[in-house]
Amino acid sequence: MIRIAPVGRALAVVAATSLALTACGGGGSNTATQTSPSAPASSAPAATKGDGTLTLGTLLPQTGSLAFLGPPEFAGVNLAVKEINEAGGVLGKPVQKFDTDSGDTSTNIASQSVDKLLAQKADAIIGAASSSVSESVIDKIVGAGVVQFSPANTSDKFTTIDDKGLYFRTAPPDKLQGRVLGDLIIADGNDTVGIMAMQDSYGTGLADQVQKTVSDGGAEVVERVDYDPKAADFSADVAKIKAKNPKAVVLIGFDETQKVVSELVKQGMPADKVKWYMVDGNMSNANYLKMPKGTLEGVKGTYPGAASPEEFRTKLLEIDKKLTDFSYAPESYDAANLIALAAEAAKSDAGADIATKLGEVSKGGEKCKNFKECVDLLKAGKDIDYDGVSGPVEFNEAGDPAVATIGIYQYGADNKFNAAKALEYRTGNIAG
């Protein structure tokens, strides 16, 4: 179903939430950064109005195939909440935050976590990182009248999903990353390409866009394998790619890519003979450090997001000294700030009210770059345009960023890429 345009979005949310017969139940601590305790699903019916305190929930990976993305995402949210509360909070009160684990699609952790957050009267939930996980819980979240705001979902499905006007994201849809990756493959002189993609909304959607871009650019996708990421063995899948002898292989997946890489090497398709290309889902520096040095040397990959400024990285390290990866930290930081500013603009912490103001605070007004600067303008009666660390973040009618940046990275002989500095950054219009 096509998403509802701004005015219709607001009406749809009001209509949906007015049907709720009971208020959101469940108690809990008032500590702003405490993880929420357990609560049964039955204690979290839909809320109809705010209670004057902005409560954020995080639904981010502490376990599962994207657990490597958890630390920078949590750090980004925590930094934003710290700065927001230091600036006086939202609606005159400190922001509350409750953290939960999103897990992955092999478990029911995300659904249980959402129940906990709804029981804690979350007005907005930041997450999940995985598109498939978000897809599995979006109905429960928006059905409760709560904003779902992902810093990392890239599946194109969310552009047209039936979300009651309550879903937003700071990460760009895969059609932009797919175009950038496809263009890169062509520019590198590859006229025959193999694609190995995990079979889910993220993998197949991104593979479709890469395949289209490569084909439009005059190259041929000689073989494409959409595989089960839970498979114990990928030898037959890799053999299909090898049989077509492509010059380049695109690997679209999560941490199972480690097994695929090992199989490529085993079957005589190492990175120094066949060009490998990766994507944000499998570009973890931690994944490949135990492999022989040079295994990934020269491998290129794409990652949504502009460069993280050094000052921002320094602040993140004050939040989490163990951080080695800053992926999606800017998007997470911006998500929390935008929700808080929308609540201020709406003079309400209710999810439906926040949703109607997210587009407004992201474009068309006086530019500002942090919560304190922006909220001072709001209190002075000014219209604002929040330009975030991750980019301008101007939402279109679908709740997607209208313009976004994709970084192109390259692995060295140590099987790592420099997450703080890309080979280049390419900025494009999502609809282009």
Under DSSP, the state recorded for 417 is B
Question: Are the C-beta atoms of 144 and 44 separated by less than 8 Å?
Answer: yes
The residue behind tokens 């922001």 is 95
Helix/strand/coil for 368:
strand
390 SS3 class: coil
Note the pLDDT of residue 3: 40
Choose among 399, 384, 432: nearest CA to 150.
Answer: 399
Would you state the pLDDT for residue 12? 38
Cα 181 to the chain's mean position, in Å? 18
Instruction: Name the helix (H) or strand (E) containing 141.
Output: helix 131-143
Amino acid at 6: P
Q: In the 8-state DSSP scheme, what is residue 408? A: E
Pick from 228, 198, 230, 250: nearest CA to 64: 230
Q: Are 155 and 88 in contact (CB under 8 A)?
A: no
Q: What is the residue extent of each domain of the chain? A: 6-171+308-400, 175-304+405-429
Q: What is the pLDDT along the chain (432 residues), one digit of tens a residue?
A: 334 333 334 433 333 333 332 233 333 333 344 433 333 333 333 445 789 999 999 999 999 989 999 999 999 999 999 999 999 999 999 999 999 999 999 999 999 999 999 999 999 999 999 999 999 999 999 999 999 999 999 998 999 999 999 999 999 988 899 999 999 999 999 999 999 999 998 999 999 999 999 999 999 999 999 999 999 999 999 999 999 999 999 999 999 999 999 999 999 999 999 999 999 999 988 889 899 999 999 999 999 988 888 999 999 999 999 998 898 999 999 999 999 999 999 999 999 999 999 999 999 999 999 999 999 999 999 999 999 999 889 999 999 998 889 999 999 999 999 887 899 999 888 765
Residue 43: what pLDDT?
Answer: 34
Name the CATH superfamily, with its identifier, for domain 6-171+308-400.
Response regulator (3.40.50.2300)
Dmax over CA atoms of the chain, in Å, equals 66
Same fold, 6-171+308-400 and 175-304+405-429: yes
Residue whose tokens read 């587009």: 359
What CATH architecture is 175-304+405-429?
A: 3-Layer(aba) Sandwich (3.40)
The beta strand positions in 244-396, using DSSP E, are: 248-252, 275-278, 300-304, 366-368, 384-386
